[in-house]
Amino acid sequence: MYIDILIIISAFIGSILSGLFGGGAGLIFTPTIYLFLSYTNPHSSYIMQTSITTMIASLMVSGLVAIVKHHKYNHIDWRVLKWSAPLIIMGSILGCFAMTVVSSQSVIYVFSLATLILAVRSTQQIISNKSQDNINRDLGWSFRYIGSVLLGLISTLSGAASFVVPYYERIGLNIKKAIGTTTVVVWLYSVFVLIFMISLGLNQNNLPPGNIGFLNYKYLWLFIIPTIPGALLGAKLANILPERRLKISFTILLYFIGLSMLFS
């Protein structure tokens, strides 16, 4: 009963973060599922891979709800999405294969350190008060195209899309446009990741009970139910909060998650 309540609360909070920050649900979902599965099945393999796949599956419905809301608020840059989404999806598929050979502990360390680096860079931007709203910024084809592929790879390995928002800010979108665009691209690559992770895990041994491939269906329904109201609330907050306050909140979240995962 207590674990069910914890899962419901984390699902609601995670979906708020997803609607508010474009992809922050993984920052809450992934650690919650990971810690639970590690406690109940300490000798199982591929626990981090299972946590990431289950988190993705739980957000498919609420992700569509958030996309509709962000489109209503005009927070999605469809021009940027057109060229970046296919490349990020390509990287996310590569990330699926990489997860089958990389240890869970290595993924956690990469996730934690990368998140803290992003937090430091975001802090520097807040202090300098630099504007990101310049869509014509020329950062070169390597940053845009190779960077998009690497972004998909890292996001899949870490189970969190918190790296996508700073990327879109870097190419010139303001924080609200970056969040809305991230919401769409995360949902798109999640479809591919979910299919590949279920398929790649079908022949693996010693998986946690209740798995189909790397998807754990046993607690999936508990995640899905609270995510819809959470996504609606998160998208609403993203619309009404001032950009600077939104940026500061996102940065605090990065520090909190990065440190908690690093020392867990």
CA–CA separation, 103 and 84 (whole Å): 29
User: What confidence score (pLDDT) does residue 121 get?
Assistant: 78
Q: How far is CA 17 from CA 122, 175, 244, 257, in A?
A: 17, 14, 17, 12
Q: Which residue stretches of the chain have pLDDT < 50? A: 132-136
Specify the pLDDT at position 139.
63
Task: Judge whether 58 and 224 are in contact, CB under 8 Å.
Answer: yes
Virtual torsion, Cα 111, 113, 116, 122, nearest 10 deg: -80
Spatial CA neighbour of 26 closest among 35, 37, 17: 17
pTM for this prediction: 0.75
pLDDT tens by residue, 72-109: 999 999 999 999 999 999 999 998 888 777 766 776 77
Q: Are 34 and 208 in contact (CB under 8 A)?
A: no
Q: What is the pLDDT of residues 102-128, one digit of tens each?
A: 766 776 777 788 778 878 877 887 887
The pLDDT value given to residue 159: 66
Say what the pLDDT of residue 210 is: 87
Q: Which of 101, 223, 107 is nearest to 155 (CA)?
A: 107
Alpha carbons within 13 A on the beta-carbon side of 61: 12
